[in-house]
Chain A
């Protein structure tokens, strides 16, 4: 039954998208060849179906029956329309390729399709899939739509493809999301070949399609609930419709092109350069044509439809996170959900995955594997793609490749090459075939070698070590002759800890879970160490009990001549890589503290949302600038009425001692620096610090800790559980679940 559910969900999504795409293209009076329809009808429908589910999720109407009803209605409409008015003006099909070329394509295609289907049908255990692509979708399904996810920044990413996963999940659960992603992998080669035929390079289309389709990282990504292959398909479909507009002067092609360009943003933010490419393409071509209608109309058409797809996601983020581009650009759009510093750390990390430098990328991305996946050794020939520049098709591909490829440098993981890979693969196909005399033999040999080298069992022969690749294929598991639950329990360490959460944790209670990020197979809210501001706060708070330089208090006293003012700032005089953190600020006149009053108003130049933590009388809670401290970063207190002050007492973690703080007062309508004398006293970590940390975590609504024994500080939890005030409730697969008493 599980297998049937997965297959039903997959076919349902495919035909729902195709039907929607058919209706759109029909409205626009498009006539595609039969060979083009498999891919382009599907892709034209994907954004529409995704938007429909977006609407349902926004209105909390994600019910299985409603999804099925809507999907069935769309399909029925398409069937009725196609029968009522058959298209007589469909362009003639291209002449069939020779038998040799058909064998060259179909043999590796079908063999790998079998491998991919078996793999995708297996249990979904991919890290990002179970973390958020499916993890969040499972939660949306539970909530019948979007809900406020304050603890996971990935909820802010465009989830265009995930909206299709939502239908798949409703009908076929976890594995169906992977098989829906597989649809894009199985259909994209046909799209690439269809474009190649129109461009007059059909054989290069076959070569390019297979180079893409067989690449190990593409196979791995396309058979799990990721979105990179789907994004590649969306971008390529956009490219196809743009080419249709450019070559055949079909203005209406800009509608699907615009929709797909905008949808590329909704799929993956790094694919948003597709919009820029489409915009420049339309603008430049229109200018060159000197059309009467001018440049504005086609550009407006494109941008308008692109906006229809992209803007709803921006609005969702603006409403939910206060940042239309969340989780990026937090520095420009400050919000309480993610610190800009974490974003900067992530960028830095992603730009040097596994310490790989830019010059090492070609080797690591093709053979090495340190970038988590490989394209395959055949892509060492990629420079031969430059030969394609001698042809018009090659130049067109290059123009599309460059903008789609450029964002790769923001995250050099191999799978981030996938959206631009179809263009490179086709260009490589053209390049190989253009080599005189040996071109065709070389191209076919390259494809066959690529197939042989990319077969999972063969990869051990040439790959230097661990590769992120298809490694668990079992038709028994795919057909569920082996129990999915047994497999998950035996082979996936993150599964049972999730069950532990469901067993012990009450709904609504947060779990600090620094070593287990899967959200797909349990129902509780977990915080990692960096995936939200709340998670980072929980992590640093936890570390205060572990790390002495965080647990020790650095008490500063700033003395200055008495000043009467209604506003005082503490201004950083240091620029450092770390954030500025302040646990407590008190003001005094001589030995008398100025009592904190409700009329006081608190703010800061950075992360003002958490400024109250510096005034809550707790030394384990702290305000953070949330960004690397700059000269001039400030924390401000407005007293409401003028007060006389000559001392400021500041409590911070010891690691903050190197950041100089200078008091400034609002005097005579301007900020005046106060000449201060600083006295510092170090206070060692308090004996009760662990329990204070526990209580602070509870104030953050964290009532549980799920931690692997290997995690930093886990031994302290075990050794000093009584001093933490925590109780171990369960232990499984090296994880312990602690309840905060």
Chain B
């Protein structure tokens, strides 16, 4: 009826409607509330072999020998009496050594208390004694003087006594994490 009676008005009305639609898109007000506040994280870099974490800042860190394969956990877990690991660090200063080992009740019951000795580049830096089953966290700063060739840092983990097996190497402790961490700078 409108079109027949007032064709020009109808036409303009349609144009206005189209204009209104476009301007609604173009001129809409946008307001937002304050977002969730982000916390300031503490950044660390790490050259760590971690049984439960695949990421490392230095992915070339590797087990040389003495850590038995465990297909469920990135290929390593039980240690032999002498485990050797290598970490390609990029500088000497500022590192903390970190390790998490677990003494296993069955082993301790048969072998008696165990002593785990950590050496970095041939120098003994820490000895841990395991009297009973459970996890031990080890963390201490590393003197820069020890890391004479940071890109080739060797760590030896010597454990005794261990549980001899009828076949295969003896079982010592379960190594869950070992390596170096430091503040980002």
Contact = CB atoms under 8 A, between A and B. Distances in A.
Interface string B15-57: 0000000100110011111111111110101010000000111
Nearest to B41: A695
A616 B184 contact: no
A687 B185 contact: yes
B57 A596 contact: no
Contacts of B37: 596, 616-617
B26 A688 contact: no
Given A324-B22, A608-B30, A692-B43, A616 B55 contact: no
Interface in A584-626: 596-603, 608-609, 611-612, 615-618, 621
B182 to A, nearest CB: 9
A723 B35 CA distance: 28
A723 B90 CA distance: 10
Interface string A705-741: 0000000000000000111010110000000000101
B25 A615 contact: no
Nearest to A325: B22
B22 to A, nearest CB: 7
A504 to B, nearest CB: 12
B135 to A, nearest CB: 24
Interface in A606-664: 608-609, 611-612, 615-618, 621, 638
B90 A601 contact: no
B33 A601 contact: yes
B45 A603 contact: no
A272 interface: no
A318 B25 contact: yes
Contacts of B30: 603, 608-609
Given A688-B184, A691-B43, A616 B35 contact: yes
Nearest to B88: A722
Interface string B149-179: 0000000000000000000000000000000
Contact of B45 (A324, A332, A598, A725): A725
B32 A727 contact: no
Contacts of B29: 603
A5 B40 CA distance: 56
Nearest to B57: A722
A539 interface: no
A725 B25 contact: no
Contacts of A334: 26
A618 B31 CA distance: 20
Interface in A308-345: 318, 322-324, 332-334
A550 B36 CA distance: 24
Contacts of A318: 25
Nearest to A687: B185
A615 B34 CA distance: 6
A600 B33 contact: yes
Contact of B55 (A609, A612, A727): A727
B184 A687 contact: yes
**Could you tell me the dominant secondary structure of chain B's interface residues?**
loop
B35 A722 contact: no
B59 interface: yes
Given A602-B32, A688-B184, A323 B90 contact: no
Contact of B35 (A323, A332, A615, A721): A615
Contacts of A616: 35-38
Counting chain A CB atoms within 10 Å of each CB, the highest count among B34, B55, B185 belongs to: B34
A601 B26 contact: no
Contacts of A722: 45, 47, 57-58, 90
A450 interface: no
A690 B31 CA distance: 31
Nearest to A621: B38
Given A616-B37, A723-B184, A741 B57 contact: yes
Nearest to A600: B34
Nearest to B90: A722
Contacts of A621: 38
Contacts of B185: 687-688, 723
A322 B25 contact: yes
A601 B43 contact: no
Contacts of B25: 318, 322-324, 333
A612 B36 CA distance: 9
Contacts of A603: 29-32
A692 B184 CA distance: 10
A590 to B, nearest CB: 22
Contacts of B35: 612, 615-616
Contacts of B22: 324
Interface in B82-120: 90
Contacts of B39: 617
B2 to A, nearest CB: 16
Contacts of A601: 31-33
A602 B56 contact: no
A132 to B, nearest CB: 24
A723 B32 CA distance: 34
Nearest to B40: A617
Contact of B43 (A324, A598, A602, A725): A725
Contacts of A615: 34-35
Given A616-B37, A618-B38, A688-B184, A602 B31 contact: yes
A728 B59 CA distance: 8
Contacts of A324: 22, 25
B61 to A, nearest CB: 11
A723 B43 CA distance: 9
A611 B32 CA distance: 7
Nearest to A640: B33
A695 B57 CA distance: 14
A314 to B, nearest CB: 10
Contacts of B38: 616-618, 621
Interface string B55-91: 1111100000000000000000000000000000010
Contacts of A599: 33
A725 B44 CA distance: 9
A637 to B, nearest CB: 9
Counting chain A CB atoms within 10 Å of each CB, the highest count among B22, B29, B32 belongs to: B32
Contacts of B184: 687-688, 690-691, 723, 725
A608 B55 contact: no
Interface of A: 318, 322-324, 332-334, 596-603, 608-609, 611-612, 615-618, 621, 638, 687-688, 690-692, 695, 721-723, 725, 727-728, 739, 741
7 contacts: A598-B33, A602-B33, A603-B31, A608-B31, A722-B90, A727-B56, A727-B59
Q: Sort A-B residue pairs by CB-CB distance and give the 3 closest, nearest first.
A: A687-B185, A722-B57, A612-B35
Interface of B: 22, 25-26, 29-41, 43, 45, 47, 55-59, 90, 183-185
Given A615-B34, A695-B41, A725-B43, 7 more contacts: A596-B37, A601-B31, A616-B38, A617-B40, A687-B184, A692-B43, A723-B57
